[in-house]
Amino acid sequence: MYTVLARAESSIPHARMNNATRTDQRPIHINTDQPNFRILQWPAVVKPRMRNYHSVMASHPLATAIGNTIGATLHPQPAARVHGGSINECYRWEANSGPVFVKVAPAQSRDMFAAEAAGLEVLKSANAVRVPQVLGLGTTTDSAWLALEWIQSGPNASFRKSDSILGEQLARQHRATHTAFGWSRNNTIGSTPQLNDWDASWTKFFRERRLRYQLDLTVSNGYGGGQLHKRGEVLLDNISQFFSTYHPVPSLLHGDLWGGNRLTDDQGQPVIFDPAVNYGDREADLAMTQLFGGFGADFYDAYAVAWPLDPEAHTRVDLYNLYHVLNHLNLFGEGYRSQAMSLIDSLLAHLGH
């Protein structure tokens, strides 16, 4: 057992933690005896880029628009802001049919919400892990919104108890496969565009649509000059070595599976949300569960029983998590640069560079 910095679970009983910032930290104990576990220390200070808060606390027209779309009567104002919201504003909104979870952003974010809704529907069709039901989405003059089923979370103690169920169910979700890697539409990872053009080659897809895209963004954002980009290009040139004997199938992925995008409902069942859906290597989902913690040994054990991993899966954990660390560098700034550099150096050392 180690004491590490990890995101604290929400103290708000009904919090869904959608798009929660990853800067809310306190020491907690997590089990590091699980297979392939790697501790990545948080930067001491991570300062998210400032954004304009899109307040809707007095928006009767928005309540009317949502109600007309989902067939319910909403109170003129939301009942409460939900914990989180580093990308969008998230609210519990009371309606005559019960509470509704509503995400709100500027009107130009409608496509992002549409992709999220489509992703939730695809995950639901896998009949594996529970996801919130999509109630509707739309726009007003200045706002885009997405209305989802409100899911009552269970007590904090139930979070760990659902680990084994989630492991088995995630393996079942990953058995929903496609003939190629990608998805039918682009979506976002956080607020960063995620490119999903179909490709028959996983190595090419992950190199070009994931790592190279993020690495190029670091240059555009002023973080990627010098050794980061130079060493990153060497890694891209040699990435095929990680797949010389391993040929993954295109599995249905959540795509952003960290501890803040899961909860346990009041019946003890796991729920996942805020997806960045695509068909890819299932190891990518599992790698991200290790990046920030929040998943216990029972989760990994149950997954391994349901669908054992390739014996060399541990060699690709850092490769898949590099994508998310680069994305955090692009979203939140310089605090993640040293982590990205460390991962690249470690991966190249594994390859003998």
**Known catalytic residues?**
256
Q: Which residue has the tokens 């892990």?
A: 129
β-sheet bridge partners, residue 148: 101, 134
Cα–Cα distance for residue pair 353/332, rounded to 1 Å: 29
Q: Which residue has the tokens 């869904």?
A: 16
Cα–Cα distance for residue pair 296/343, rounded to 1 Å: 23
Q: Which residue has the tokens 């989405």?
A: 137
Q: Which residue has the tokens 């895209």?
A: 213
Cβ partners under 8 Å of residue 51, min gap 6:
none
Cα–Cα distance for residue pair 238/236, rounded to 1 Å: 5
Residue 79's SS3 state is: coil
Largest CA distance in the chain: 63
CB 122 within 8 A of CB 225: no
Cα–Cα distance for residue pair 26/47, rounded to 1 Å: 16
CB 83 within 8 A of CB 15: yes
Q: Is 353 exposed, middle or buried (0-12, 13-18, 19+ CB in 10 A)?
A: middle
Q: Which residue has the tokens 């067939």?
A: 71
Q: Which residue has the tokens 């990680």?
A: 242
Q: Which residue has the tokens 């914990």?
A: 83
- Residue-by-residue DSSP string for 85-104: -SSSEEEEE-BTTS-EEEEE
